[in-house]
């Protein structure tokens, strides 16, 4: 079983729908890292995930001022953005590491490539690339057994 999937997303709606499907599958302890340029669609995908995880729409923000936003859905969802962090040490002060270790919810992290060590050993890594106009190319890579099972269920 391959642990990598690639997919073409032709519109924001398609990206959203894919996120919704992931949100229905997430369990506490799951960690999803998102990588991609400005405007690649990371936050857009997370909004879909939040909807799929039954988070009230009003709760969902774009993590601009805080590093981590907690959402309460079917399970707790933590939406983080590492864009403004410089290094691993910054993660201590934000409480991010406690949150990942606690495993009471699922964690979604934009700009994981800024601090790759922020990810636990087992995680799902999603990379979004601009592919002209509204087209995005998504590459999903699973590290570990649970992420591989999650990926297989998400993109059979």
Ligand X SMILES: Nc1ncnc2c1ncn2[C@@H]1O[C@H](COP(=O)(O)OP(=O)(O)OP(=O)(O)O)[C@@H](O)[C@H]1O
Under rule CB under 6 A, residue 6 binds ligand X:
no
Partner interacting with residue 15 (select from ligand X, Mg ion, none; CB below 5-8 Å by kind) = ligand X
Under rule CB under 6 A, residue 79 binds ligand X:
no
Which whole-number Å values give the CA distances from 33 to 44, 61, 82, 118, 120, in the listed order? 14, 17, 10, 9, 10
Under rule CB under 5 A, residue 123 binds Mg ion:
no
Helical spans, DSSP H, in 31-109: 42-52, 90-94, 96-102
Nearer to ligand X, 48 or 147 (CB): 48
Distance CA 47, CA 57 (A): 8
Under rule CB under 6 A, residue 11 binds ligand X:
yes
Under rule CB under 5 A, residue 127 binds Mg ion:
no
Which positions from 35 through 54 interact with ligand X, judged by CB under 6 A? 36, 38-44
What is the chain's Cα-based Rg? 14
3-state SS, residue 139:
strand
In contact, 148 and 124? CB cutoff 8 Å = no
Under rule CB under 5 A, residue 42 binds Mg ion:
yes
Point out the residue whose Cβ comes nearest to ligand X: 41
Nearer to ligand X, 111 or 148 (CB): 111
Give the interface segment with Mg ion, choosing from 3-11, 25-33, 43-51, 52-60 (CB under 5 A).
43-51
In contact, 28 and 76? CB cutoff 8 Å = yes
H or E element in which residue 130 lies: strand 123-130
| Distance in Å, CB of 43 to Mg ion, minimum | 3
Can you give the binding site for ligand X, defined by CB under 6 A? 9, 11-12, 15, 36, 38-44, 110, 134, 136
């Amino acid at each position: 079983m391959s642990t990598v999937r690639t997919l073409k997303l032709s519109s924001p709606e398609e990206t959203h729908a894919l996120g919704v499907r992931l949100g229905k599958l997430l369990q506490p302890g799951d960690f999803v890292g998102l990588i991609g340029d400005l405007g690649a669609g990371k936050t857009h995908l997370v909004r879909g995930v939040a909807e799929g995880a039954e988070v009230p729409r009003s709760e969902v923000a774009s993590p601009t001022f805080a590093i981590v936003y907690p959402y309460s859905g079917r399970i707790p969802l933590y939406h983080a953005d590492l864009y403004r962090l410089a290094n691993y040490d910054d993660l201590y002060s934000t409480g991010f590491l406690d949150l990942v270790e606690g495993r009471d919810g699922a964690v979604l992290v934009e700009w994981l490539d800024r601090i790759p060590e922020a990810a636990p050993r087992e995680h799902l890594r999603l990379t979004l690339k601009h592919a002209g106009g509204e087209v995005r190319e998504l590459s999903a890579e699973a590290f570990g057994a649970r992420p591989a099972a999650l990926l297989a269920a998400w993109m059979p």
